[in-house]
Structure 1
Amino acid sequence: MPEELTNCSLCCCTTTNKIFMVVFMISLILAILFGNLLTLAVVSGTKHFHTPQGYLKASLAVADLAVGVFVVPISVYTEISLMVYNSMPEWTTRNSQTSPFHPCSFIGPVFAGCTLVSITTIFLLTIERSIAVLKPLHKESVITKKRTSILIVFSWMGSFFLAISPMVFSNEIALEYNPCSRMCNYALGSADFPSRAWKILLLFPAFDFTLLGGTVVINIISLTTIRQHSKRRKHLAETENQSATKPTFSDIKAAKTIGTLTLAFTASFTPIAVFVVGNVLGNEWCTFSFFAFWILTTNSCWNVIIYGVRDQKFRSRACQLLTSARLNTASKKTEYENTVNGGKTDEEAAKQP
């Protein structure tokens, strides 16, 4: 079994590939932590973002942050152990059915649950933006902070219930460290492939694509409405009555941003759905599974990039926070130099005999 683990796919065939993979994973952790902590700082520290949309973006950032804190580090630890000791940790040779305290029993549902949270949050963001675009006069009364908070709580509860449902409703499904994807994944606890087990496994792509499909349709409707509004604005003079029933420029920009988020997540999730269906049909697709799972994982650091490119207010506030942090660091360094050198900088102290 250990030999099988060490020679599983293209990602870990050579020492160079293994080093590159570990460097990639560590870089991904840093990018996820930096991007999503910055998003949370902007949303929580700026009154402009204390809105239903801001709450949803914060929920999405927390889900992505959990991937960087819990999911990727376990893969880094395992791969570094392989490089240093030339063998995987012992728990990777077993699954959650044969080990009472298997790490994947926690990591697997976290990854699945956070992925589902991301999908449901993007769906809720799309609904929120579509109401702002299609029914601007009803936006304030329909979309409230309280309702949004309740929906966020339900999305987290529902997503994590769905994430643990394979183990709850089937004794044949376990969690294991997959030698192909280099992650904790759902797997069959036995060699057989009972029909009930594959139906439960197919529940994930079915649910995900249902939500993503609905999200894409709603985005198309919203973007079509925005396009029609832009055409009318070119041909008709703006009147007070007309402008009162049309979406604001801010709502239009936000709708386009959510559309970009949807496109990015759909592109990153599609390979996983293809792999799950193929796996259920009996295809192993070892190398493909590695790329599929890690493409999905990299999506956890893309949201802040999309916000920064598409949302000028977010970009400005993020730059202010980063500049402020840099100035605070420089100020503390100066204070330290003054304390150590009696009010002189390091350069002045060095010149003094």
Structure 2
Amino acid sequence: MIETSAQTMLDRPEEPSNCTVCCCTLTNKVLMVLFMLLLIVAILVGNLVTLTVVLGTKHFHTPQGYLKASLAVADLAVGIFVVPISVYAEVYFMVTDSRPEWILYNSQSVSFHPCNVIGPIFAGCTLVSITTIFLLTIERSIAVLKPLHKDSVITRKRTTILIIFSWLGSFFLAVFPMVFSNEIALEYNSCSRMCNYALGNISEFPSQAWNILLLFPAFDFTLLGGTVVINIISLSSIRQHSKRRKHLAQTECQNATKPTFSDIKAAKTIGTLTIAFTVSFTPIAVFVVGNVLGKKWCNFSYFAFWILASNSCWNVIIYSVRDQKFRVRAHKLLMPFQKKNTTTT
């Protein structure tokens, strides 16, 4: 979400002179656009399936289901708004051999700059995803560590309120840099091929603006760190419970105080989800640290941001592999399409 640039877009209307992995040849450009188009399809199909399963199945009308739906909506927004603007910019450049006007100038030089909308959407949805995974982890940890209190502590009403606050808080943080600092601009970066917050050289850039933008990594790292710690505690409890089940005969009274098999399975699924998001977010963390140290890393910038964007289509795969009920329901949804294809052939 944060990109440093030595100059504003007004000062560099053409492609960078140094050849990056994404702009050296026409073949690379075509492959890059094809990747973006496939990513859009994967994000849209995967998250629409998730929403249909969660919202259309009574079994998933639970606090956990609501959180999964919120996560799917955030990922869906990336496929609807964020990736298509990159496709448009790159296809426009391939066809006309020039950049659209809103790319050639910074956000203050045109009447409407799409990045002023797309940038906060990408940042906000990323923050929503991190917050939602954190809430999913909290919900599962209570189910595993305090199973008797699960139904009284975790309610659909409380979960809905938390989801609303997570969206409001995330998008407040996303627009915070532009609202509280006129030194921060949004631009379509020619390295990452995305709308990012633009910074100047560290020696020239106001320290206040740096402090504002550092809220992003501080917030992200804090939540991700807490999520990982809570997952470790929950999974350790699950492991100890499994060991006890192997060596001790459980009475009905004892079983009542233990997490159910579905709770354990769900906790492992959320753990897998946390690992996937942490892995996809790590390159961004490395890139931000590199920016602070004055590194440009144009190629790495592209891979870091698009690895993060690709994470938006992984959730449905994780659910399908880890959750049998989700997998069965998703299969039933896709059956009509399979029958049509069989009839046609």
**TM-score using structure 2 length:** 0.93
Distance in 1 (CA, whole Å) between partners of 2:284 and 2:71 is 20
Q: In structure 1, what is the equivalent of residue 82 of structure 2?
A: 71
Aligned positions of 1:267-282 closer than 5 A? 267-282=279-294
* Matched residue, 1:337: none
SS where residue 185 of structure 2 aligns?
strand
Alignment match, 2:134: 123
For residue 72 of structure 1, report the CA deviation from its aligned partner. 0.1
Shift of residue 277, structure 1, vs aligned partner = 2.5
Partner deviation per Cα, 1:72-112 (whole Å, 9 max, x = no partner): 00000011111111111111111222223100000000000
Q: Aligned to 2:117, which of 106, 116, 128? A: 106
Q: Deviations over 1:102-141 (max 9, x none)?
A: 0000000000000000000000000000000000000000
| Superposed displacement of residue 306, structure 1 | 0.4
Q: Which residue of 2 aligns with 1:220?
A: 232
Shift of 1:24: 0.2
1:171 and 1:3 map into 2 onto residues whose CA distance is: 25
The match for 1:177 among 179, 182, 188 is 188
Shift of 1:202: 1.3
Residue 164 (str. 1) matches residue 209 (str. 2): no
Structure of higher CA gyration radius:
1
Instruction: Name the counterpart of 2:208.
Output: 196
Q: What is the RMSD computed on CA atoms of the aligned residues?
A: 1.8
Q: Which residue of the other structure, out of 150, 159, 163, is the alignment partner of 1:152?
A: 163
Deviation at 1:9, TM superposition (A): 1.8
* AA matched with 1:319: H
Partner secondary structure for residue 15 of structure 2: helix
Matched residue type, 1:151: L
Match of 2:319 among 307, 318, 321: 307
1:171 CA drift (Å)? 1.0
SS of residue matched to 1:279: helix
Residue identity in the other structure for 2:129: S
| 1:211 is the counterpart of 2:223 | yes
2:279 & 2:201 partners in 1: Cα distance? 32
Question: In the alignment, which residue of structure 2 is the partner of 1:229?
Answer: 241
Q: Does structure 1 retain, via aligned residues, the 8 Å contact 2:40–2:84?
A: yes
1:295 equivalent in structure 2: 307
TM-score scaled by length of structure 1 = 0.91
Match of 2:154 in 1: 143
Q: 8 Å contact 2:47–2:72 — kept in the other structure?
A: yes
After TM superposition, give the deviation of residue 319 of structure 1 in Å. Answer: 0.1
Give the drift of 1:8: 5.2
In 2, Cα distance between the equivalents of 1:322 and 1:129?
29
Q: Distance in 2 between matches of 1:6 and 1:58?
A: 44
Structure 1 residue corresponding to 2:108, chosen from 97, 105, 108: 97
Give yes or no for contact 1:181–1:290 (8 Å, CA) kept in 2: yes
8 Å CA contact 2:13, 2:105 repeated in 1: no
CA displacement 1:265-309 (0-9 Å, x = unmatched):
001011112212222332211111000000000000000000000
Cα deviation, residue 145, structure 1: 0.3
SS in 1 for 2:195: strand
Alpha-carbon contact 1:174-1:189 (below 8 Å) kept: no
Q: Which residue of 1 aligns with 2:143?
A: 132
**Cα distance between partner residues in 1 of 2:174 and 2:225:** 20
Contact 1:198 1:280 (8 Å CA) reproduced: no
Shift of 1:330: 6.9
Q: Provide the C-alpha distance between the structure 2 equivalents of 1:311 and 1:13, rounded to a whole number of angstroms.
A: 43
Identity %: 78
Unpaired stretches in structure 2, ≥5 consecutive residues: 1-11
Q: d(CA) in 2 for partners of 1:92 and 1:189? A: 17
2 CA distance for matches of 1:283 and 1:170?
A: 24
Corresponding residue number in structure 2 for 1:351: none
Counterpart AA for 2:168: M
Distance 1:297 1:97 in 2: 27
Q: Kindly indicate whether the alpha-carbon contact (under 8 Å) linking 1:71 and 1:110 is maintained by their aligned counterparts in 2.
A: yes
* Residue segments in structure 1 that go unaligned for 5+ positions in a row: 335-346, 348-353
Aligned residue number for residue 265 of structure 2: 253
Query: Distance in 2 between the 1:170 and 1:304 partners?
Result: 38
- SS at structure 2 position matched to 1:220: helix
Cα distance in 1 for residues equivalent to 2:153 and 2:291 = 43
Amino acid at match of 2:300: F
Structure 1 Cα separation of the partners of residues 209 and 328 of structure 2:
49
1:7 Cα deviation from its structure 2 partner:
5.5
SS of the residue 1:284 aligns to:
coil
TM-aligned CA distance change 1:40 to 1:56, over 3 Å: same
Moved more, 98-107 or 38-47: 98-107
Q: Distance in 2 between matches of 1:75 and 1:244?
A: 53
In structure 2, the residue matched to 1:263 is 275
